[in-house]
Amino acid sequence: MLHRAARIEDAVHEVVEGWLRKRGWSATVVPYTGYGAPGWVRVMGRIMVRRPGKVPSSLGKVRGWRRFATVSAKDAPFVVEVDGHRHEARADRGGVIDTVVKADLAPGWASVRISAEGGEPVEAPVRIVDPSVRFGIVSDIDDTVMVTHLPRPLLAGWNTFVLDEHARAAVPGMAVLYERLVNANPGTPVFYLSTGAWNVAPALTRFLSRHLYPAGPLLLTDWGPQKDRIFRSGRQHKLAALDRLVTELPGVRWLLVGDDGQHDPEIYAQFAAKHPDRVAAVAIRHLSPTQTVLAGGLPLPGGREPVASDQSGQRWLSAPDGAGLWQLLAGADLTQTGGGLV
């Protein structure tokens, strides 16, 4: 049975969506990047209710609040066309498409077609991971690849709901770090794992592309009331996503990248304890002393100096930016196929 908050949200949503559809608004699919392996593919996206002729823009300046002033198509039916086959399914109560279909696609980048009732079909990119690949990257987003100052609640709210998306800054050296790792390990999949809402997926994809981060699927979550609680658990979302990757891509060992401003070290430590043979290393980006204090912690002496250590059999690395992490990875021989990562 749904939580009361979720039932209230669904009732309000039903009224708003019904009113918009009576005014001629129809379903439009917003595609997200999916992934898979030979034999299957995970297709992701979201079905929104939009004004006739209104096409989601992938370019231009977008104020943060506009990403949240949207209406999803609750439980909307959709069709996935891939590898010459059609697969019918329904979005969830938030309009999110997240389904696994059978498909025999070659490793590399491909696309699938998604269509919703009354809307035009769209192409969604998917990354098919080669079964021979033994190394992958899972990266946090906030304050790991993008400077969001999440430890500062008021500024975080300004950045999320008011600031133009083009004003966001990239964390120095992180895009270069990922590109070097991908080049040194051909076929490396990169996943961007965050507790951010699906509403911001298109903006995040544009941000990563503008700042030359390797393309890869986003693993986000729903900020609204959940089936069994009012608020979703960010920690459980990240752990569940990591557990799913372990099951779906059993041959891959992961470099887990995060920052020390929130709970990434604790989450990664818990995951590493559960799956010690699936963690190649953990790389943590140090926040500044000011950010650390505002996050509720205390800066350690020399806390921004690059540090390498071993914890429970895994290699843990920490530095303030991508250049520092690269030096540690290179110094520990963890940067190429045949080294400590694979």
3-class SS string, the chain = CCCHHHHHHHHHHHHHHHHHHHCCCEEEEEEEEEEEECEEEEEEEEEEEECCCCCCCCCCCCEHHHHCCCCECCCCEEEEEECCEEEEEECCCCCEEEEEEEECCCCEEEEEEEEECCCCCEEEEEEECCCCCCEEEEECCECCCEECCCCCHHHHHHHHHCCEHHHCEECCCHHHHHHHHHHHCCCCCEEEEEEEEHHHHHHHHHHHHHCCCCCCCEEEECCCCCCCCCCCCHHHHHHHHHHHHHHHCCCCEEEEEEECCCCHHHHHHHHHHHCHHHEEEEEEECCCHHHHHHCCCCCCCCCCCCEEEEECCEEEEEECCHHHHHHHHHHCCCCCCCCCCC
Question: Band of the pLDDT at 118, cuts 50, 70, 90?
Answer: confident
Most confident range, picked from 31-45, 83-97, 278-292: 31-45
Give ranges for CATH 3.40.50.1000 in the chain: 135-331
Instruction: Please state which of the ranges 7-21, 256-270, 305-319 shows the lowest mean pLDDT.
Output: 7-21
- So what's the pLDDT on residue 241? 97
C-alpha to C-alpha distance for 240 and 90, rounded to whole angstroms = 22
C-alpha to C-alpha distance for 276 and 191, rounded to whole angstroms = 19
Q: Which residues contact 11 (CB under 8 A, 6 or more apart)?
A: none
Mean pLDDT of 208-215: 96
Give ranges for CATH 2.60.40 in the chain: 4-128
What is the Cα gyration radius of the chain?
Answer: 20
Q: Yes or no: is domain 135-331 CATH 3.40.50.1000?
A: yes
pLDDT in tens, 166-181: 667 899 999 999 999 9
Tell me the pTM.
Answer: 0.85
Percent above pLDDT 90 for the chain = 51
CA dihedral sign of residues 63, 68, 73, 75: positive
Q: Yes or no: is domain 4-128 CATH 3.40.50?
A: no
Contact 253, 279 (CB under 8 A): yes
pLDDT in tens, 123-147: 999 999 999 999 999 999 988 998 8
Which bin fits 173, alpha (ψ -120 to 50), beta or left (φ > 0)?
left
Contact 197, 222 (CB under 8 A): yes
Mean pLDDT of 272-296: 80
- So what's the pLDDT on residue 339? 47
- So what's the pLDDT on residue 39? 96
- So what's the pLDDT on residue 60? 42
